[in-house]
Amino acid sequence: MSSIWSKNPYTGEKLKEYTKDTDSTITEKLKITQSVQKDWANLPITERCNLLDCVSELLLERKEEYANLITSEMGKPISQSIAEIEKCAWACDFYGYNAEDLLADEIIETDAEESFISYDPLGCILAVMPWNYPFWQVIRFAAPTLTAGNTGILKHAQNVPGCAKALEQLFLDAGYPKGCFQSILAGHEEIENLIAHKTIKAVTLTGSEKAGRGIAETAGKNLKKTVLELGGNNPCIVFEDADLDEYLETMLQARMQNTGQSCIAAKRFIVCSEIYEDFISKFIAATKNLKVGNPKDSDTYIGVLAREDLAETLKSQVDKSLEKGAKLVLGNSKDGAYFEPTILTDVVPGMPAFDEETFGPVAAIIKAHDRTHAISLANQSSYGLGAMLFTEDMEAALELIPQISDGAFFVNDMVKSDPRLPFGGTKASGYGRELSREGILEFVNKKTVYLKN
């Protein structure tokens, strides 16, 4: 029977060995979830919301434990791991309070005596989740999806098996029925069979564009719905009137939080020429002040990447950009899974630092001739997850909304997920929405009911 080892990317230490699920154990888990789903769906929504409240309470009670697990398995600085768990509790609180209203029948006036839309659960939903936010990505799927009456199967990233097991136990400890939320430890080769299985009614993936295309193809062959949250190459547009003293720290955080390992990070800083040099000097100074060190230290802001191969990929992207004419003004050293915070200037289309998603602490700075050129450069991407603009001109910002083709547009703040707002992308960043009302309605049957005597 094969196994999976979790490994600390900062120390290189092997942490714990986990047994992979076999075909027979996967089949058994699918049987269990199928047997419990109808009773779970018939449970009054108030009871499902009460259980979600219990999840929130346990998350906060155990936040130090869970945060240490995240930091040990994927290297996130401990203060940011604690913040991740607190955000998970927030999402549970949001749906615990609002789910009954969000799922209420929607009355539609027609020729019938009564007609309405009923929101019924689909069944068992497969979630294929990434390692960069190993609790948050799962909770923002599970909180709305389970509360809507579905059950869930989690196939987590292989480098965070401890997080996967902890999440499964979390729902059991909160009082959820056995089989309502289960984790499967398996490789990519098992996913295709899982999607094809009759018990699985839909699939959600947060991951790379390549993974999304594979999941979509398999799900399409089996006529099953998908929600895909894929990569991003978010532009941070800086107009000439931007208040750098007020917002530079926000821009830096937008790139460097989670050691740059975020799909919604600001990866391309597109700066109008009038403010370009001032921006570079301030951004360099702020980057140099970031505390680099052991992720377990509370004051560490930059730790390590989650795996050494990720650092190697990032190094290759930076080096190829330099070969094409980018200028290195800071960083670009690698040691194992550690990658030094790096700043590139003179970045233009055609370079990996402009065209590709760079998953790590690398900031690409691009000079724009003017505002129009800045917007054109921002939209020059195959991705469309989110864009941010820094300006004092709110009238101009509002006029730009139709020109930004991404799934989110943030003005004078970093792109971020919020349980109250829908989250998702366009183009190669995927489709469908998580969170808010849209998120809880992704995996329900929007059933038309028409009653006429």
SS (H, E, C) 294-345: CCCCCCCCECCCCCHHHHHHHHHHHHHHHHCCCEEEECCCEECCEECCEEEE
The DSSP string of 222-245 is TT-EEEEE----EEEEE-TT--HH
CB 326 within 8 A of CB 333: no
User: What is the distance between the alpha carbons of residues 266 and 236, in angstroms, rounded to a whole number?
Assistant: 6
Return all residues near 156 (Cβ < 8 A) that are at least 6 apart. Answer: 129, 131, 134, 138, 163, 164, 167, 183, 185
Q: Is 273 helix (H, G, I), strand (E, B) or coil?
A: helix
Q: Report CA-CA distances (Å) from 302 to 75, 186, 279, 299, 339.
A: 10, 30, 21, 9, 9
Q: Is 171 helix (H, G, I), strand (E, B) or coil?
A: helix
Catalytic hit among 84, 168, 209, 229: 229
CA angle 292, 295, 299 (to 5 degrees): 60
189 catalytic residue (yes or no) = no
CA angle 310, 83, 78 (to 5 degrees): 55
CB 246 within 8 A of CB 397: no
HSE at residue 149, side-chain half, CA atoms within 13 A, is 21
Question: Hey, what are 338's tokens?
Answer: 């550690």
Q: What is the DSSP letter of 423?
A: B
* Residue reference for tokens 């970093």: 414
Active-site annotation, residues: 229
